[in-house]
Amino acid sequence: MTTIIVPMNPHDLADVLHYEGFDVDYDTGEVSSESTGMSNDILIVLAALNKLEIKRDLDGNPTYFVPHLDVCDMQTYCEAFPDDVSCKLYDV
């Protein structure tokens, strides 16, 4: 039996973070834990793995964003990123 490991696309990452209790703004891609009081440790790790982008707010504090979350569905995502492994398994 062959196992295919597919990296998480931005939509799945945002969904998993949301289900784990993080606030996810699906319009901007911003991820935060302000309203939940959760630790940002996992966000720091994801940023170090280049799965999240870091920007600074007006006070200089880091804010975290899921890159390319503005692409609204898998078909549009795969048209923009056809070489993504998950798109090779997706029938566009």
Domain count for the chain: 1
Is the pLDDT assigned to residue 18 strictly greater than 80?
yes
In a domain, 4, yes or no: no
> Would residue 75 count as lying in a domain?
yes
**What token pair was written down for 50?**
């280049």
* pLDDT tens per residue across span 24-53: 998 889 999 887 777 889 999 999 999 999
2 within domain boundaries:
no
In-domain check, residue 3: no
Query: Domain residues for 18?
Result: 10-88
Per the domain annotation, does 59 fall within a domain?
yes
E-strand ranges in 1-92 read 23-24, 30-32, 53-56, 62-65
Which pTM does this prediction carry?
A: 0.71
Residue 5 lies in a domain: no
- Confidence (pLDDT) at 72: 61
Alpha helices in 3-73 (DSSP H): 10-19, 41-48
